[in-house]
Structure formats: structure tokens, C-alpha cells
Homo-oligomer: A and B are copies of this chain.
Amino acid sequence: MSHKPRILITNDDGIFAPGILALREAMMEVGETYVVAPDSERSAVGHAITLSDPLRVWEFKRNGEFFGWAVNGTPADCVKLAVKAILQFTPDLVVSGINQGANTALNVIYSGTVSAATEGMIMGIPSIAFSVASFQFKDFTYAKKLAIQLSRKVLAEGLPDGTLLNVNIPPVPEEEVQGIRITRQGRGRYEEYFEKRTDPSNRVYYWLSGTKVFVDTDEDVDEVAVAQNYVSITPLQFDLTNYQFLTELKQWGLERNGKSSDS
């Protein structure tokens, strides 16, 4: 491209999070950066968008300098609003993160970080979601290097229509990273339970908790790669059709033409 690439940056941990600061620093090496992010944490919001409330935008400073725009919405809202109302141009790349906590296996469907990249993808913009697989690990040195390398590659090569990259980085220093793997989404999930508690007014409430259930063992699965200290890069798409079962379902005799009967 002739101009410097223009990069939209967002996340789901909120505009205050250390991960988005790191991602912006990395992207400043790659092009012009524009931050539009939620004004507070929006984890596990899935692909939510805000239809029933107005969205508001604030200019947000960090260390006394303009850092970006804060929005009272979800990550998907931020991408829509950035492109359609705040920036009023289509960026060359959308990056989301750097999230604290893995977005692998079934967690992907709950992920605000991935939903922002999905929204970019829907708008026809190459999009990448970055996560470090730990809530505690705060050393983004290696994650930043990887984000720079991969963003440049995606800007050069493009991505197929309807496809985004979901990147998960092991929470270890660079010298302990074992490599990079192209992976598929695993099937692992949380086995959930609710803690039943009583508030100070004696009313019952429930708090969701859970423990991870590992299902996969193949090395080419996202969460297996990360557990082995590999970076996992998974190409995702959003045709959810189960084509294999579709063929079987056609044998159920449900299909008909003409007026339905009670059979």
C-alpha cells in the first residue's frame, strides 16, 4: 500500500489494561495506530453488540497524552463505531488484545477479544486477535515482537474473505517459547459450577466458577500447542454449518415442499 498502514486497535479488557498499551506500542512500529476500546472490562461478552442503549465516546489520555477513544460498549461495538463514526475510514488492519487469558478451544465462542477481530473480518478488514494464556503474566516483550512480525505478514499477504487469525501466546519469557504452530480450534471447555452465596441483606446469589476440561491431545490443537509453550495461530471462519450432519439430517424426512402436514 502507498500510505503507512492504518491500524485499529481494540480489546475486551478495557482501554485501561496493560495489554492494549503493549499492543499499541508494537503497532506503532508497523503503522499509524488508532485505539478505540471499551471503557471498562468486557470479558466473556461473546459477540455481543449494543442495540438497546446509546453508545458514548470519550477521548482517553494515558500518561498525559491522547491514547485513544473509550466507548461504553462491547469490543464488537468499538470496531463498528470506530469504522463507521469515529475514524470514518476503513483501516488496513484490526488487532485485538493483548488479552490476558487464553482464547482457545470452546472459550473462543465466549471471547470478546476474538469478537472484535470477527467484527473487523465481517467488514472485510484483515483482523488478528492476540491473547497471552495467563491472567497474571505481564511481560509482553515477546508478544509484542510476535504481533509486529505477524501484522506485517498479514498486511503483506492479506487474509481470505471471512477469515481471521486467533493467536495465543504461552505465558513464558521468549527464551522458553518453543516455537510457533498453525493450529485448529480444540474442543476443551470448562466444567462449570455455581457457588451459592448469601449477600449482606440475606438474599441468595450465584457466582459462576469452573475448572478446565482438556479433551484434545493432538499437537496441532490450539490449547495443546500453548500448553507445550508454542505460539498457536488458528485461522477462524464463521460459517457454522455442520455440513457432515447436514447430509444426514436430510435423511430424517423433515423436508417437504408445499403445505405442511401434521405428520
Looking at the complex, which of A2-10, A17-25, A90-98, A251-259 is the stretch in contact with chain B?
A251-259
Q: A145 contacts the other chain (Cβ, under 8 Å)?
A: yes
**CA gap between A107 and B199 in the complex, in Å:** 38
CB of B48 within 8 A of CB of A255, answer no
A85/B206 contact (C-beta < 8 A), A182-B255, A262-B145 known = yes
Query: This chain: how many copies in the complex?
Result: 2
**CA gap between A207 and B254 in the complex, in Å:** 41
Question: Using Cβ atoms and an 8 Å threshold, which residues of chain B touch A245?
Answer: 159-160, 163, 235, 237
**CA gap between A206 and B86 in the complex, in Å:** 10
Tell me the A33-74 residues at the B interface (CB within 8 Å).
41, 43-52, 54-57
Q: Which one of B81, B178, B205, B231 contacts A206 once the chains associate, using CB atoms below 8 Å?
A: B81
A185/B76 contact (C-beta < 8 A), A47-B110, A51-B44 known = no
**CA gap between A231 and B185 in the complex, in Å:** 31
Q: Which one of B55, B146, B240 contacts A185 once the chains associate, using CB atoms below 8 Å?
A: B240
Interface size class of A (residues with CB under 8 A): 35 or more
Q: A208 contacts the other chain (Cβ, under 8 Å)?
A: yes
What's the least CB distance linking A157 to chain B, in Å? 7
CB of B57 within 8 A of CB of A185, answer no
Question: Using Cβ atoms and an 8 Å threshold, which residues of chain B touch A145?
Answer: 260, 262
Chain B residue with the shortest CB-CB distance to A193: B84
CB of A52 within 8 A of CB of B41, answer yes
Q: A192 contacts the other chain (Cβ, under 8 Å)?
A: yes
Q: A115 contacts the other chain (Cβ, under 8 Å)?
A: yes
CB of A237 within 8 A of CB of B233, answer no
Tell me the A212-263 residues at the B interface (CB within 8 Å).
231, 233-243, 245-246, 248-250, 252, 254-260, 262-263
